[in-house]
Structure 1
Amino acid sequence: MFGITPLGWLHTLGSLPAIPLAAFMFARHGRIMPRTAPGIAYLIFMLIGAGTVFLVAHQPVSYGIGTVTILLLIAGYGVNNIRFLGRARRYLETVFLSLTAFLLMVPTVTEILRRVPDGHPLVTDLKSPLLLGSQAALLAMLILGLAAQLIALRRQNGRIS
């Protein structure tokens, strides 16, 4: 089905729960909250997805995305422990973890468009206007979303002071 191997299904189904978890945290908190139950679940599912990409990937860019995602997860979940960064920790945490969500969505949207419907995918060429437009929309959402998140954090910090 969809030309996915059993290992590919493990990768896909292992990372899939990270999408609604991220959406929930963005809607509820405006950002990914690493020290909450959904935040911990997000980390686990993202590590499954990013870790298994090395077993299923066919293109070098996939290895890069997997590596960068793992590094951003480590940075995003660890930056709070670097005390001398002060308030910058929350900003960095937000940027790092939002980037992980973006790096999850780019290949997810690409793979869906290249595999669905089964046997007659919507996109057969990586230069397809539909695919490029979808990726551009994700980039725009990342830029606007990060701007909104950083403004919200700045306002919160203004009230805390």
Structure 2
Amino acid sequence: MFGISPIGWVHTLGSLPAIPLAVYMFARYGRIVPRSAPGVAYFAFMLVGAGTVFLVAREPVSYVIGAATLALLIAGYGVGRLPLHRLGHYLETIFLSLTAFLLMLPTVTEILRRVPDGHPFVTDLGSPLLIGAQAGLLATLLLGLTAQMLHLRRQGIVRAE
């Protein structure tokens, strides 16, 4: 179904729960919170997805997205352990929001390239529909990061000293 291999299904189903977890944390906390139960689950599912992308990737850019996702995920979960104090919250939020963006970018691309089964919405990576969807994700990332930074500042988590 949808031309997905068995390891592709592991990759897809392994990373899929990260999407509602990210949406939940963005709605509840305004950001991905690594030291929460949903945050721990998000980390695990993102590791599965980003780790298995190297086994299923067909496009060279997929390797770059997978490596960047892993690096940002580790940085986002690790920066809170460094003595960066308030700056750490900014970096943590930026890094982990970028992981959600890097999850959604190939997700939207693959959905448009595979659905409906046998007659996908998009057959070319240069399709206006695909480029528009990717541009929409980028706009959402930029607006979301701006809102998150303003929210952190208003909360007093990150203030100029």
TM-score by length of 1: 0.97
CA deviation after TM superposition for structure 1 residue 158, in Å? 6.7
Alignment-mate amino acid for residue 37 of structure 1: A
Please list the CA deviations of residues 3-35 of structure 1 after superposition, one character each: whole Å capped at 9, or x if unmatched.
000010000000000000000000000000000
Superposition deviation, residue 125 in structure 1: 0.6
Letter in 1 for 2:77: Y
Asked if the contact 2:90/2:158 (under 8 Å) is kept, the reply is no
Q: Which AA in structure 1 matches 2:95?
A: F
Q: How does 1:1-161 map to 2 (within 5 A)?
A: 1-83=1-83, 85-157=84-156
CA contact (8 A) 2:34 2:40 kept: yes
List gaps (5 residues or longer) in structure 2.
none
Q: Which secondary structure does the structure 2 equivalent of 1:21 belong to?
A: helix
Root mean square deviation, CA, Å: 1.4
Identity of aligned residues (%): 72
**Residue identity in the other structure for 1:75:** A
Look up the SS of the partner of 2:3 in the other structure.
Answer: coil
- Determine helix, strand or coil for the equivalent of 1:122: coil
* C-alpha distance in structure 1 between counterparts of 2:58 and 2:116, whole Å: 21
Contiguous gaps of at least 5 residues in structure 1: none
Equivalent residue letter for 2:138: L
One-letter code aligned to 1:127: G
CA shift at 1:159, angstroms? 9.6
Counterpart residue identity of residue 32, structure 1: I
Runs of 4+ in 1 over 4 A off after TM superposition: 158-161
Q: How many positions carry a matched residue from both structures?
A: 160
1:44, 1:70 → 2: CA distance?
11
